[in-house]
Amino acid sequence: MFTVSPSNHFHLQQHFESSGRLFFSISGAGSKFRVRKARVSRCGSLVGGNGSSRRVISSQKKTVETAASPSEKRGGNESRISSYSSSSSGGIDVRATIKIRKKMKEKLTEKIEDQWEYFVNGIGQGISICLISEEIDPETNSGKRIESCVRGWLPKPHNGVHAMEYAANFTVPRDFGSPGAVLITNLHGKEFYLLEVIIHGFDDGPIFFPANTWIHSRKDNPDSRIIFKNHAYLPSQTPAGLVDLRSKDLSSIRGNGKGERKPYDRIYDYDVYNDLGNPDKSKDLARPVMGVEDRPYPRRCRTGRPPTVSDPLTESRIEKPHPVYVPRDETFEEIKQNTFSAGRLKALVHNLVPSIAATLSKSDIPFKCFSDIDKLYIDGVVLNDENHQEYSQNFFLGNIMKQVVNAGQTLLKYEIPAVIKSDRFSWLRDHEFARQTLAGVNPVNIECLKEFPIRSKLDPNVYGSPESAITKEVIEKELYNGMSVEQAIEENRLFILDYHDIILPFIKKINALPGRKVYASRTVFLHSQTGTLTPIAIELSLPPTPSSKTNKHVYTHGHDATTYWIWKLAKAHVCSVDAGIHQLVNHWLRTHASMEPYIIATHRQLSSMHPIYKLLHPHMRYTLEINALARQNLINGGGIIEASFLGGKYSMELSSAAYKNLWQFDMEALPADLIRRGMAVEDPSMPSGVRLVIEDYPYAADGLLIWSAIKEWVESYVEHFYSEPNSITGDAELQAWWSEIKNKGHPEKRNEPWWPNLNNKEDLSGVLTTMIWVASGQHAAINFGQYPFGSYVPNRPTLMRKLIPREGDRDYENFIANPQITFLSSLPTKLQATKVMAVQDTLSTHSPDEEYLGQVNQLHRHWIDDRRVLELFNKFSSKLEEIEEIIKCRNKDNRLKNRSGAGVPPYELLLPTSGPGVTGRGIPNSISI
């Protein structure tokens, strides 16, 4: 039963007219009508005789019949064979089941629109479907094809999933062959999300066409969408009937590189990072382009927006809440969107409170005592009535505040971070400071010290003496049993966290910014015989001045109060540099930004039926969307990163310098990175091919388990598809893919000698393992610990606002009188800290629809029809389950001091699975947050 209101009557009639064909109109406001089936075919659609379609619609006592001729073209109710014919009596009855995803939460207007769509689909006027055979039609020299329309009537949800099913009937000639693709044409006025198409009736059982894609409206793009079945074909193995479609589909994805992209587009192309600044808004928001010879950078996805008025080289910005273009299928699904939106709202509320406090005080307020920090987790922040009244005059702020205040007046309250949850004072200890270099959120920069004296590679004419001020005497005072520096190096006892060369060129510019003070730091650690790591010397450097060719200061932990506090300040400065490098280099550059060209090239050069596309597809989910949001809100001029991390407006320039001087693809492989840093040595007897120098190195020990499992899975997968000699060099799509990654994705580095070749199975397996590791294990290890480790400001300040006071300085006496105030006033302000905490909370959150390594989403269960591949994947999944148990056992091993002990949080960042929320564990398939 369907009730039509007066407004609905007008809407229905107008929709039919706009479709170009007026079938009927319904008169009588509020009249009720019922659809009766003339005859039901065995697949459930409504058909008349000889392929015509007939509907009987009764409205009270009136009956209206509509018929559609099978000779009508696309958009009609036909079941026809294009360029290929056979008598229906000699054909095969085939049914196509089409599954369309619906929204979980709908507004009333959307529900009404859905009812209309069901109706249009039901009468065969909403979706056209064409089967394409793998066999050639000799008359057209392309795949045989047969077309029909989707039919059905108000279908029921499928198995409780938010999806609707429709059917289309075909009578297929017996010599049609096996269908290898379907063409979907959306005749509606808006897009819909196609989950999959299943073809029933052929001898070899149901044939699956996994889609998981948005189907654009024909009014936006007249081309039909091509969906291939779930069989993987190398280019040379493509069935003859699909060759032209394979080429056409890739061509449509690449676009022509011109024009501004529309929201419904599914086009992947490259561009430089020229959308971070906003010079039209303010000169202070102008930012240089990243992706030029002197500021190289990996490429991002092109949007084609016009340039700004102020600068023709800068792309105009789209500010929140308006979305930045990404290819349509890259956008967040509904569950993810709701989770991220909630996080954004939470961040807004969290930022609002300190903003109001800062406005009322006319300054940005520092923490005055440690209890101020504790209150963020214990009491929250309450806005008093006076403040509420003042800011309620602003409509936008007032609405938000009213909602929150009415909910209990607590505007801000954070969970206690894991790093202090069991031991509030752990952050004060040297052991914890050192432990986090191996088991914290940034465990990828510590190196084994191999040469002494420590020397810089920077130009001495610009940056002064290259030799470190950390001398043998300084180190040997901290060694035991009369050990020499040479002996300690020989026995792999000395380690270093060296940020000198990457930071020093930026110090003058950064320190000229208000509220920013940074040093180029070096920290030397001793690995004791008990297996623990201890910092023994910190060097903090500033650029040379005309009066002093060296401006380096060395600090060691002492036993008097003054030295103790200065040592604590020195460690805080090291942590702030470490936090900046972590966010801008290791997190953003080495995972988010470096993955984007791989994803773009995969879509542009590898057909969706290519086995390597199918392998990589789960590891590309959501990455372009989260990167676009980062360019809009996080790494943009004036964004969160600039406001709250050490680099300020020079943050992305610093990231570009790291890309130029440090990034190379072959070193992104975990074993290669560990060997380069001296944290491991080659050992063919080990499963991963390397042996750790420090056994109790949780990130590396657990990471190598994950790396080895990925490597085994990838190697077996590649072996399965590339068993023939020269099959890799002869794969045109694969070679074009690798060439494009180098030449278009990383053009400033395209001629570097370290790019791997792509000549054999070993080359390909190595490249793919690295990509999958970066997208999964590497990102998980350095992302999901951000809130657990970084949200307690003294443990990991993201910037420092003061240099360390020295004797003779104006602030030195104040420091002696009250060192705690000096320490706290050097940390980020309340506003900066709460911004960072809000962002870290959001970035550390798993969405309820997260897809974890070794798992397949239920909606993607038909991703491939190859039984051997599914067996290999199940083996990979089982291996990850074993690894999870191994890691849990390691966390209970009291010999491993970096992951167990009194108050020590277990190392769980590389546990493969997790529930939703901020859990500090779990490895998603892709960079999805």
Active site positions, annotated:
587, 592, 779, 783, 929
Q: What distances in angstroms separate CA 562 from CA 225, 518, 556, 569, one per listed residue?
A: 71, 21, 12, 11
Q: What is the DSSP letter of 42?
A: T
* DSSP helix/strand/coil, 177: coil
The answer to whether 263 touches 323, Cβ cutoff 8 Å, is yes
The answer to whether 663 touches 515, Cβ cutoff 8 Å, is no
The answer to whether 408 touches 346, Cβ cutoff 8 Å, is no
- Provide long-range contacts, Cβ within 8 A and 24+ apart, for 286-291: 286/310, 286/311, 286/314, 286/637, 287/314, 287/636, 287/637, 287/649, 287/652, 288/653, 289/313, 289/314, 290/652, 290/653, 290/655, 290/656, 291/747, 291/748
Q: Using CA atoms in the order 633, 635, 639, 644, what is the torsion angle rounded to 10 degrees?
A: 130
User: What residues are paired with 369 via a beta bridge?
Assistant: none
C-alpha 378 chain-centroid distance: 32
The answer to whether 218 touches 185, Cβ cutoff 8 Å, is yes
- Smallest CA-to-CA distance from 350 within 832, 785, 796, 797 is with 832
Task: List, in order, residues 6 or more apart from 315 with CB less than 8 Å away.
Answer: 271, 274, 275, 303, 305, 306, 307, 308
- Smallest CA-to-CA distance from 81 within 11, 16, 177 is with 177
Distance CA 281, CA 639 (A): 14
- Provide long-range contacts, Cβ within 8 A and 24+ apart, for 427-433: 427/792, 427/794, 427/795, 428/568, 430/534, 430/535, 430/557, 430/571, 431/532, 431/533, 431/534, 433/535, 433/571, 433/575
Rg (the chain; Cα; Å): 31
Count Cβ atoms below 10 Å from residue 389 Cβ, excluding itself: 10
The amino acid occupying position 672 is A
The answer to whether 496 touches 535, Cβ cutoff 8 Å, is no
C-alpha 427 chain-centroid distance: 30
Peptide bond just before 321 cis, omega within 30 deg: yes
Peptide bond just before 453 cis, omega within 30 deg: yes
- Smallest CA-to-CA distance from 777 within 700, 714, 842, 674 is with 700
Task: List, in order, residues 6 or more apart from 817 with CB less than 8 Å away.
Answer: none
Q: Are strands 127-137 and 142-149 parallel, antiparallel or unpaired?
A: antiparallel
The answer to whether 101 touches 195, Cβ cutoff 8 Å, is yes
Task: List, in order, residues 6 or more apart from 191 with CB less than 8 Å away.
Answer: 214, 215, 216, 217, 220, 264, 328
The answer to whether 646 touches 516, Cβ cutoff 8 Å, is yes
Distance CA 123, CA 66 (A): 9
* DSSP helix/strand/coil, 455: strand
As given in the structure block, the two tokens for residue 647 are 């680099």
Distance CA 658, CA 580 (A): 12
User: What residues are paired with 525 via a beta bridge?
Assistant: 495, 535
